[in-house]
Structure 1
Amino acid sequence: MSSTFKFGKIRSFLWPIHSSELKKFIPMILVFFLIAFNYNVLRAVKDTLIVTAPSSGAEAIPFIKLWAILPMALVMTFIFTKLSNKYSTEKVFYIMMSIFLGFFSVFTFILYPMRDVLHPNVLADKMQAILPQGFHGFIAMIRNWTLTSYYVMAELWGTAILSVAFWGFANEVTTVSEAKRFYSLFGVGANIAGIMSGEAAIFLSSKSFFNFIPYGKDAWDQSVFFMTLTILATGLLIIGLFRYLNKKAMNQNEPTISQVKAPREKISLKKSFAYLARSRYLLFIALIVLAYNLTTHIVEVVWKNQIKLLYPNPTDFNTYMGQVMVYTGIVATIVALFLSGNFLRKFSWTFSALITPVVVLVTGVCFFIFFLYKDSASALKFASFFSATPLVMSIFFGTMQNTLSRASKYTLFDATKEISFIPLDKESKRKGKAAIDGVGSRFGKSSGSVLTQGLLIIFSTLTASAPYIAILFIIILGVWVVSCISLGKEFNSLIAHKEKIHIQEQTDKSLKKDEIKKYYPFTTLEKKDKIKK
């Protein structure tokens, strides 16, 4: 079938793929599906291992994210860069996959079975006796170092394999025409992978111990064994499909995405702040992205702590996390197919952009109300109306917040964020995205962990820190809502007048008087202040 064949209205919506493209599309979407499937299974297992580990809990997560994941992400970036400079994209993919599958094999057959011997419990007990209670999460990270290493590698799978290795390859082999049709279906595949990985986590979280399998001391040990074997099996299948894709399915005559699209610019955190300071418009976008990452990370720790109180058994905890993934996948699919596009077409940018923070605010406030006032008569009465307890209600609203925020992240949130870049000229758009990636994403995630750690160290426990986390949550949401409204006004004005924003880079280290007044309107210059021309 010719690639110039025009699809009907229904087919262009559901299946805009030519029959001649199936040899390339099918293995590509299968590779993407399996990588996303593994990512979601690993997400459930890593949280369960850390939160339910001996002498550990959800308070260990912010310490792991800052002191283990951040350094290892830099190491992984260095390794990937070195490999990319020396080998082809195909070979780099095999090596990166081998690193991860090799680690999960070592973890399954050596580290996890021998964790009681390998964990430095004596050292951790001495640290616990010396350090304040607020360092409990940091000590748990060291005490259970084998589980921490699993958490780190599971987290890095999403970055190194999904975001970098797969999408780097996809952009190299996919033409612009194909990308317009392929990538939307990849998104649907990712949502379906979330649903199926959740079901797999539930199914493999068995409470039965099989005596004929010579592995583990209890049912949970065998569940870890089964889930990691699933990851290893799908990993080998990914390598096989990737091999087929490179040897049998590559045949393009058009320019690919990587040839047409300029490489994504990366700038330092310091330069990111400096660049954003020159534009109110970009600053609003950065605040929106920063607010999303902060609210997600600070609420997540308290929510998982609550889940542990309800499900202290790792099998039950993992089953619940699997159910959350199923809910997230279903909601994300519905929003992507039926709501996101309609909202963007029928309503203003501001209205569409405000949906995510309003949903996060309502569900987050309900979560903290039942958490902070769980012993009050009103909370008990309201919960009893649903034949539940305040703990169950707080977990329910926390789950709603987590599910809806993640579902909207890849639909309405990302869509409105990308649309907001339209009024920028090409150069400002490119550098603005790089700056926002640095401040909003990287700084947002790490600063969320720093804030949570600081509160834990000061107030000792998550329960004692929760009121201050709630106040911080409300303040950040307020900034998010105000930023959306302010950005919406500027966006609508620019679109109405068909104007483009150009952000002039500051080459001189000092600002001129009129420029200082423009960027910092509350600054007053005295005569003694010198301005270089």
Structure 2
Amino acid sequence: MVTLFFFLSFINTLLDSLGSSLVITAVGGGTAVIPFLTVYAVWPASFVFLVLYSFATQRFSRGALFNIVVAVFMAWFVAFGIMYPFHETMHFHGMAESVLEGLPSGLAGAVGMVRNWMFTTFYVGAEMWGDVVLSLLFWGLANEMTTMREAPLLYPLFGIGANIGQTVSGKALSTFSTLASSRLSYATQLQAIMALVVIFSFVVLGLHAYITHRFPSNISPEPELEPVPVLEAKPTLRRTSPAAQASSSQGGAHLNGAAVELEADASSRLRASSEASTSGTASPGDAAVKAAPAGSNRKAKLSLRDAVIFLTKSPQIQCLAVMALAQGLSTNLIEIAWKSHLHMLHPSPAAYSAFLGEVATWTGIVTGTLMFASPALFARWKWRGVAGATPAFMLWTGLPFFVGCVLYNVVHPGQSLVGAAALRALVIVGAILQVFAKGAKFSMFKPAEEMVYIGLDEQSRTKGKAAIDVVGAQTGKSVGSVLQQVLLVVSSGSLVKSLPVMAMAYFAILRSWSRSVHTLSTLHVCAFTTHSMSIDGESDEEAEPAPAQVAVLTETTLGDVSPQSPLAAL
């Protein structure tokens, strides 16, 4: 799992850096293109994927879906590498110049998105790889292979492979861009990187096949519903004292010294349920069996509309959705402000990619360090403290960065030595913010979020996770991009004038994120086998028996009932 995460993260770092470099440094591009890309390209692609994924989950296994999705990405990487040398002739430069003459300057980003359509599609593919393969598919595999007891230790450690991959990938990208810039054309560099991505994608498919065939799934298969056996009526087992139980060998079965009282009419209700299932009519007992959430029932098939309605009724999923939206929104706002100043400092694609590679390298180092410390942090801070660390850090470091951006653009030192030094300092501070924000997200917030899914039902784990991971984060980015579009139109295309409003929105969004973490912590959705490792860290010695214990209790009391019988579900 660590090795698989290494290669997925290596590919993701390359794609993310290249995607941003291409659309920002292209002719007619710039940072103003990003808000339009997020809303009109990435967001629709996320919804299309969600519909297709919901359709495919009813017809393919999780392993088959993993292979299909990765294969589609590989085909696009090959096609892009072949077409890139001809992008100047394939892009719509002439049409874009004529359209720009009759449009407001605030819509130049939308024209640039259409103008460089090949770079737009690559940017969408890079964004979707991170949301679909790195987040949805990998963590879906992890949730299937990991138990609740193992998650607090293994989930942070899984990310060690990802952060090593990010560190190595970032260093390789920056070194390759620096050394090859004087010997190879940028087209040759990009084709070499695409070839490396395709090779590593084959490695990913091989590792996934080995894991799924070599190691068993943590989720037991759900057997088909069997006919309920007809049981003979038995005498009622009355409560007896411990002394009477000790002296009698015919007493009722008990668990932990507590006698169990079973009424004799249970067998008659089971007989009625069996007869009703044979005749095709439903009895109350049969309805109870079908409504039972235990694994003995056949898995229900929900349509996309039913799944959305189902998920809106889950308070845990609602909190996770708000957190995903807030994460996407805050990341989008802070990243746009930082990348706009980075483009001022490094206008060429090679230098821009090299700087992003250095940022990715330090992000991997910091995140890996935090991941080694995260098991101790979970033990000390509990779930709520670990999950709330990311929004707290982004809140109290992001606001000073916005203030620095506003002051720099108000003073506007220009091309002077002081201005160049101030711009470089601002870019470095923004890079540090990006490094620690992403490090906290992937080492603490993401493992804490994934632990929630283990305790949820199967529909919430599959369709709920797909909706949140793929659409939720992109919806947050899209809302932030819509806000930026409005500000760009109002300010005649000047992102600098929009920074104060973006800072206020950033503060409100992170406050909502923190409140959702607090609400989710009160739901006890991450209760582990011992309550000392749960969300609030308090013991709960008087907890009700788990459903599995009730099933064992029933089976112990009526020893002639099959373990696969629906009685276990009841």
When normalised by structure 2's length, the TM-score is 0.67
Counterpart of 1:130 in 2: which secondary structure?
coil
Deviations 1:100-154 (A, max 9, x none): 22222221122x1111111111221122112211111111110000111111112
Counterpart of 2:408 in 1: which secondary structure?
coil
- Does the 8 A contact of 1:363 with 1:398 survive in 2? no
Tell me, in whole angstroms, the C-alpha distance in 2 between the residues paired with 1:390 and 1:298.
Answer: 21
Change (3 A) 1:103 1:354: closer
Greater CA radius of gyration, 1 or 2? 2
- Does the 8 A contact of 1:108 with 1:228 survive in 2? yes
Change (3 A) 1:128 1:343: same
Question: Which amino acid in structure 1 is aligned with residue 406 of structure 2?
Answer: L
Question: Which amino acid in structure 2 is aligned with residue 234 of structure 1?
Answer: F
- Does the 8 A contact of 1:455 with 1:465 survive in 2? yes
Tell me, in whole angstroms, the C-alpha distance in 2 between the residues paired with 1:404 and 1:290.
Answer: 20
Tell me, in whole angstroms, the C-alpha distance in 1 between the residues paired with 2:384 and 2:141.
Answer: 35
Tell me, in whole angstroms, the C-alpha distance in 1 between the residues paired with 2:89 and 2:139.
Answer: 40
Change (3 A) 1:54 1:498: farther
**Which residue does 2:488 correspond to in 1?**
456
- 1:284 shift after superposition: 6.1
- Does the 8 A contact of 1:372 with 1:467 survive in 2? yes
Tell me, in whole angstroms, the C-alpha distance in 2 between the residues paired with 1:81 and 1:255.
Answer: 21
Matched, 1:362 2:396: yes
Counterpart of 2:202 in 1: which secondary structure?
helix
- 1:318 shift after superposition: 0.4
Q: Which has the higher contact order (CA 8 A, sep 6+)?
A: 2
CA RMSD for the aligned pairs?
4.3
The 5 A counterparts of 1:337-486 are 337-338=372-373, 340-347=374-381, 351-374=385-408, 389-417=421-449, 437=468, 441=473, 443-459=475-491, 460-481=493-514
Change (3 A) 1:78 1:223: same
Counterpart of 2:40 in 1: which secondary structure?
helix
Change (3 A) 1:350 1:388: farther
- Does the 8 A contact of 1:363 with 1:400 survive in 2? no
Question: Which amino acid in structure 1 is aligned with residue 389 of structure 2?
Answer: I
When normalised by structure 1's length, the TM-score is 0.71
Change (3 A) 1:85 1:191: same
Matched, 1:146 2:88: no
Q: Which moved more, 1:366-375 or 1:72-81?
A: 72-81
**Which residue does 2:313 correspond to in 1?**
275
**Which residue does 2:356 correspond to in 1?**
321
**Which residue does 1:161 correspond to in 2?**
133
Tell me, in whole angstroms, the C-alpha distance in 2 between the residues paired with 1:420 and 1:169.
Answer: 15
Tell me, in whole angstroms, the C-alpha distance in 1 between the residues paired with 2:539 and 2:344.
Answer: 53
Q: Which moved more, 1:46-55 or 1:455-464?
A: 455-464
Tell me, in whole angstroms, the C-alpha distance in 1 between the residues paired with 2:380 and 2:3.
Answer: 34
Counterpart of 1:57 in 2: which secondary structure?
coil
Tell me, in whole angstroms, the C-alpha distance in 2 between the residues paired with 1:84 and 1:430.
Answer: 12
Which of 155, 170, 178 is the equivalent residue of 1:206? 178
Deviations 1:478-509 (A, max 9, x none): 444455567768878895778999xxxxxxxx
Matched, 1:113 2:85: yes
Question: Which amino acid in structure 2 is aligned with residue 369 of structure 1?
Answer: V
- Does the 8 A contact of 1:56 with 1:140 survive in 2? yes
- 1:274 shift after superposition: 5.5
Which of 13, 29, 33 is the equivalent residue of 1:40? 13
- Does the 8 A contact of 1:272 with 1:434 survive in 2? no
**Which residue does 1:257 correspond to in 2?**
219
Tell me, in whole angstroms, the C-alpha distance in 2 between the residues paired with 1:66 and 1:220.
Answer: 29
- Does the 8 A contact of 2:488 with 2:495 survive in 1? yes
Tell me, in whole angstroms, the C-alpha distance in 1 between the residues paired with 2:411 and 2:63.
Answer: 62
Question: Which amino acid in structure 2 is aligned with residue 275 of structure 1?
Answer: K
Tell me, in whole angstroms, the C-alpha distance in 2 between the residues paired with 1:403 and 1:369.
Answer: 19
Matched, 1:57 2:57: no
Tell me, in whole angstroms, the C-alpha distance in 1 between the residues paired with 2:112 and 2:398.
Answer: 27
Question: Which amino acid in structure 2 is aligned with residue 135 of structure 1?
Answer: L
Counterpart of 1:131 in 2: which secondary structure?
coil
Change (3 A) 1:41 1:433: same
Q: Which moved more, 1:44-53 or 1:452-461?
A: 452-461
- 1:332 shift after superposition: 0.9
Q: Which moved more, 1:290-299 or 1:186-195?
A: 290-299
Change (3 A) 1:270 1:185: closer
Change (3 A) 1:401 1:259: farther
Deviations 1:182-220 (A, max 9, x none): 655432111111111111111221364576x7xxxxx43
**Which residue does 1:196 correspond to in 2?**
168
Counterpart of 1:257 in 2: which secondary structure?
coil
**Structure 1: unaligned runs, 5 residues or longer:** 1-27, 214-218, 502-533
**Which residue does 1:520 correspond to in 2?**
none
Tell me, in whole angstroms, the C-alpha distance in 1 between the residues paired with 2:85 and 2:219.
Answer: 45
Change (3 A) 1:401 1:198: same
- 1:368 shift after superposition: 1.2
Tell me, in whole angstroms, the C-alpha distance in 2 between the residues paired with 1:425 and 1:175.
Answer: 14
- Does the 8 A contact of 1:293 with 1:444 survive in 2? yes
